[in-house]
Structure 1
């Protein structure tokens, strides 16, 4: 009797089966930051299970992914995902992030 294979990391499980958002498959691997942001926006707005507003849910999932990847995220990937965060802010008509 074969059981379903479990993801090797709990964070992979969260990303794949979030209780708040149904993410498009491979969303964080898209090369275009605008496509990533648009997909997250669609997922957040379509969700009936999220607890926060759509912007916060989408941004939280993106930041969660970036934080869990940590040092394993290449500089190019980090730049692409940071650009997706900025695009998400634009799509939701939020103020740009403040520079540190």
Structure 2
């Protein structure tokens, strides 16, 4: 029997792309710094990423935020946006101008 087709293209991308492997539940952590540290660890260990670790980690975080869209609760979105700033600090990158 044929494999079940993913309902959403984002599911297919997450399952089959060369995106890095993430720790389970990373985006549900309560501390933005813990989210950033986990993403950094995953990006630096991953053999499946194509870009440099910072870009890969930031891309995964942005991808999650964008895919959740309006369904993402405000407090969780704020935590994830704060995690972007923490990730920039961990990689000594300039903060964004919002």
So what's the TM-score if we normalise by structure 2?
A: 0.85
Q: Structure 1 residues 96 and 51, CA, compared in 2 at 3 Å: closer, same or farther? A: same
**Partner of 2:95 in structure 1?**
96
**Partner of 2:44 in structure 1?**
45
Q: How far has the Cα of 1:7 moved from its partner?
A: 5.8
What is the distance in 2 between the residues matched to 1:23 and 1:48? 12
Q: Structure 1 residues 47 and 85, CA, compared in 2 at 3 Å: closer, same or farther? A: same
Q: Structure 1 residues 7 and 87, CA, compared in 2 at 3 Å: closer, same or farther? A: farther
**Partner of 1:25 in structure 2?**
24
Root mean square deviation of aligned Cα:
2.0
Structure 2 runs not aligned, ≥5 long: none
So what's the TM-score if we normalise by structure 1?
A: 0.84
Length, aligned pairs only: 98
